[in-house]
Amino acid sequence: MLIKQSSIETRTALTVLAHPDDAELACFGLLAKLRKNGWRVVICIVTRGENGADPTQWDRLNEARVAAALIDAEIVVGDFIDGFVPRTRELISWTEAMLVDHRPDLIVSHHVGESRTAHQDHVAVEAAVQIAVRRTDWLPTLLLAEDTDHDPAFRPNWFVDITDEFETKLAAIEMHSSQSQKYYMRSDYQKLRSNRWALNFTAQSHEVALSKYYEAYFLVQQVN
Ligand SMILES: [Zn+2]
């Protein structure tokens, strides 16, 4: 299994996601769980999120830093333009450099899949990650996380119980005050979404499942 106590050397999980709040929304439960199990966590943010809130009023990177500090995760920030992340050699090279620098055992990125409505930056980043992973000279596990908006085409095949980490995930999302007006930042939406996976994909009674929170992923490749 992916989640186990590290023995001799520290294992590394690395996220490559477009915007400062994406890791919190997509996979913060998993990241918190991995940190508890001794993993190093590196959150790579491709843009500064300047398109999502007035940069003269808000510091979205600081919001991300405060959230990451809740689990003592590291942050690396790219300087691609929010809303205009290109699927280019430059993005692929930057992503490859992130992988080579940190040599992660586990990589998490966006799930776009068959969606025709996913955020354009998420589309470019997922593509770059898939290409960069193919070029590594080691075999990392690759997970694609459920996207911010509900996507009927999302067919997850890997789930993680984040019940014990759920309050930490909500606290991390709350750090993004500049985004608080967006529906997916609401704790009731996050609860609904996480409860739904617990209900649909665990062999437990409804009463038990409704007290559980899960994150859902598409597992591209798993390496133990
Ligand atoms: Zn995003």
Q: For residue 203, report the distance from its CA to the centre of ligand 1, in Å.
A: 32
Tell me the CATH number at 179. 3.40.50.10320
Q: For residue 87, report the distance from its CA to the centre of ligand 1, in Å.
A: 15
Q: Between helices 22-36 and 166-174, what is the axis angle to 10°?
A: 140
- C-alpha dihedral sign at 117, 41, 14, 3: negative
Q: For residue 178, report the distance from its CA to the centre of ligand 1, in Å.
A: 14
Give a yes or no: residue 21 inside a domain: yes
- Domain of 66 in residue numbering reads as 12-221
Per residue of the chain (224 residues), give pLDDT as tens.
455 454 557 999 999 999 999 999 999 999 999 999 999 999 999 999 999 999 889 999 999 999 999 999 999 999 999 999 999 999 999 999 999 999 999 999 999 988 888 999 999 999 999 999 999 999 999 999 999 887 888 999 999 999 999 999 999 999 999 999 999 999 999 999 999 998 887 667 788 888 899 999 999 998 87
Give a yes or no: residue 120 inside a domain: yes
- Whole-number Å distance between alpha carbons of 106 and 92: 18
Give a yes or no: residue 211 inside a domain: yes
State how many domains the chain has: 1
Give a yes or no: residue 197 inside a domain: yes
Q: For residue 188, report the distance from its CA to the centre of ligand 1, in Å.
A: 20
Give a yes or no: residue 90 inside a domain: yes
- Whole-number Å distance between alpha carbons of 82 and 178: 15
